[in-house]
Structure 1
Amino acid sequence: MNSSLQGKPIVSVIVPTFNRANLLPRAISSILQQTLSNFELIIVDDGSTDNTAEVVKEFTDPRIKFLPLGKNYGGSYARNQGIKAASTELIAFLDSDDEWLAEKLELQVKRLQESDDPLATVVYCLGYECVEGQRKIPSLHLHEGDVFDNLLRGWLPPTTSLFMVKRSALLEVNGFDESLPSFQDYDLWLSLAAANNHFLAVDQPLIIRYFHDQQIRGNLAAKSTGLEIFKNKWSLAIKQRVGYIEYWKLISLKMSIIQLIKVGKSVEEGKRLMAFRYTVGLLQHLPWSINMIIRGIVLSTLGNNGYRSVFMMKSKVMQLINGFDKFQY
């Protein structure tokens, strides 16, 4: 290993966690296997009631710091406590149910160090998404520099696990907004961009993001409340800078996702008629809800298992088509 990658910590890795003792070891192991070794790992336990503390104790690496909060405050508060406890200027985030590939820290530090943009404080990367063992790289256009208008139009790297940010920039915008029960990461990137912080990108997948039943994406109350706070905070900026059409497109897409979650929950509860009603309700968000309407119809008709089968089959077909296209001239 390059000796320049060893010694005093230059990156603080923050992992907030709540009742994920079964998933946390995978995240910790992926951090400890990084090719850049001079980091500190701050695990913020947001009031877990499982055996999270015992799981962390099984890792004896001296770079690990365990920060138990005593009760459940929420992801934003937990991440902010990690930022406050950090001893370095570079902060990297990893959700406790995700994992990093080995070069994640090294390549992001290198990208920041080699940049000639004096305003660059944020670096992100691509990532894999893993659903039921199937891994893919979702489409994400890479924007660099001043990305404020791109964010206002709805562009969004999908998870904090992709990011590394300078601590001074985070403190300047007061970190994550603790009033938001959802959309916290989107709000933070907007706040950073609005404060003239520039973004950089590493054009390769360096994380694996897993989808599972424990995730907050199923928390309808958090999604709905967060969207209302988000709208109140950013609607004026969106309308003024990128226009009313872009505003309604963004909000319609977010509301459609919440509506589709309602469809899924109704199906889980055996309320197929209610699921169809929620699907019909997606019509009010046209033309931007067409994809969600199709998903809602499949989900309402075939149920969760049929829905997963259809879209897994679609994913495999697309992979075959993409593989075939590589041989075309």
Structure 2
Amino acid sequence: MELVSVVIPTYNRSHILSRAIESVLNQSYSNFELIIVDDGSTDGTKEMISQYSDSRIQFIELGSNKGANAARNEGIRKSNGKYISFLDSDDEFAADHLEKAISYLEQAPRSAKGVYTSQKEYLNGTFHSSSVAKKVLDSPKQIIRRYSANGFSSFTFSSDIFDNIELLDEELEAYQDMDFLIRFLQYYELHPISDFLVKYHIHDEQISSDPDRRLSALEQLISKHKKTIEKSNTGYLHYSRGFQYVEKNSMNKAKTEFAAAIKSDPIKFRYYFQFFSSLFGYSGFKTINNMKSKLVYLYQRFDLNIFPTNVIILELK
């Protein structure tokens, strides 16, 4: 079996980090090293990790808080595996995550240097929604048009990709996975594994819940990849901007961005839906989207494949 390096960046997550660690230690695929990179925690993370005696665990301290990508990069530099798998400290692997990811990569075409898996998403411990890995991604345009590869916890790559592409961008506070994939897909393919191999936990501590930081990071991303983005359909980026403006209660700007998304990609029903929702102000937008979320939840929870409703629900997700 090939050695796999699992990299977990963490910052002040000692109260939930053990969940992620144990999901790795309990893998059916046993030939791995677990690299935990502490990004300047002040909550007793080191003491908590010292309770584990497994020789496969490597603990690294950065000393000060530099951000998740800086922690991931340090893990990459210290890794020894043929493959690198990422896991955020608030998420979990299914027991056969590594086994299925490595099995796929060992038999994949040479152009496939990475895989992404389906994931189930949980809010306060309760199933919320799911994201299914469906398509082979082989162009940055696919990411720019509609981000559909989940996040770092679903990614496993061949470690030699970093011979051609730079490490992760440490300046970005959000959209880090999107930035990385735009660069990755200029050289390689990312293949899907449809099995649900990640539990993704949603909570208020995530940077992704801060609209100002997300909006700033999105503008950085657009500026960084300007040439690539100009060649692509930019509907999804306008759509993403729209949501950040909603969170800032800037509804006129949100409406403008949703309208720009429609203009860029007029066949996407979800863009029309959110433009319509934005006409009812902040409270109306939230109410309509809460209703949508409940409908999507029922669809996913009980597998309500009712035509044509299922087509609309899939587009709303």
TM-score by length of 1: 0.81
Q: Deviations for 1:203-229, whole angstroms, at most 9, x for unmatched residues?
A: 211001010011001223421221122
Superposed displacement of residue 253, structure 1:
1.2
Write the letter of the residue equivalent to 1:202: I
Superposed displacement of residue 59, structure 1:
1.6
1:275-314 equivalent positions in 2, closer than 5 A: 278-287=250-259, 288=261, 289-292=271-274, 300-301=282-283, 310=291, 313-314=294-295
1:127 to 119, 126, 145: 119
Give the match for residue 201 of structure 2: 210
1:318 to 2:299 alignment: yes
Give the match for residue 222 of structure 1: 213
Superposed displacement of residue 324, structure 1:
6.6
CA distance in 2, matches of 1:156, 1:100: 19
1:201 to 2:192 alignment: yes
Q: Report the secondary structure of 1:109's partner residue.
A: helix
TM-score by length of 2: 0.84
CA radius of gyration, larger in: 1
Q: Report the secondary structure of 1:323's partner residue.
A: coil
Give the match for residue 275 of structure 1: none
Give the match for residue 251 of structure 1: 237
With over 3 angstroms needed to count, the CA separation of the structure-2 counterparts of 1:315 and 1:67, relative to structure 1, is: same
1:36-55 equivalent positions in 2, closer than 5 A: 36-55=29-48
Write the letter of the residue equivalent to 1:251: L
Q: Report the secondary structure of 1:181's partner residue.
A: coil
CA distance in 1, matches of 2:39, 2:13: 11
Write the letter of the residue equivalent to 2:95: A
Give the match for residue 50 of structure 2: 57
1:31 to 2:32 alignment: no
Calculate percent identity across the aligned residue pairs: 27
Write the letter of the residue equivalent to 2:258: L
Contact kept in structure 1, 2:116 and 2:155, CA below 8 Å? yes
CA distance in 2, matches of 1:18, 1:320: 32
Contact kept in structure 2, 1:282 and 1:292, CA below 8 Å? no
With over 3 angstroms needed to count, the CA separation of the structure-2 counterparts of 1:108 and 1:259, relative to structure 1, is: same
Contact kept in structure 2, 1:218 and 1:261, CA below 8 Å? no
Of residues 59-68 and 154-163 in structure 1, the stretch that sits farther from structure 2 once superposed is 154-163
With over 3 angstroms needed to count, the CA separation of the structure-2 counterparts of 1:320 and 1:163, relative to structure 1, is: closer
Gaps of 5+ in 2: 262-270, 308-317
Q: Deviations for 1:270-326, whole angstroms, at most 9, x for unmatched residues?
A: xxxxxxxx234321123345444566688943898x789645643454347743749
CA distance in 1, matches of 2:116, 2:153: 9
Superposed displacement of residue 36, structure 1:
0.2
Q: Report the secondary structure of 2:225's partner residue.
A: helix
CA distance in 2, matches of 1:250, 1:300: 21
Gaps of 5+ in 1: 264-277
Contact kept in structure 2, 1:173 and 1:192, CA below 8 Å? yes
**Coordinate RMSD, CA, aligned:** 2.6
CA distance in 1, matches of 2:297, 2:48: 36
Contact kept in structure 2, 1:260 and 1:292, CA below 8 Å? no
Give the match for residue 147 of structure 2: 155
Say how many residue pairs are matched: 296
CA distance in 2, matches of 1:73, 1:137: 31
CA distance in 2, matches of 1:309, 1:197: 38
Contact kept in structure 1, 2:129 and 2:297, CA below 8 Å? no
CA distance in 1, matches of 2:174, 2:79: 24
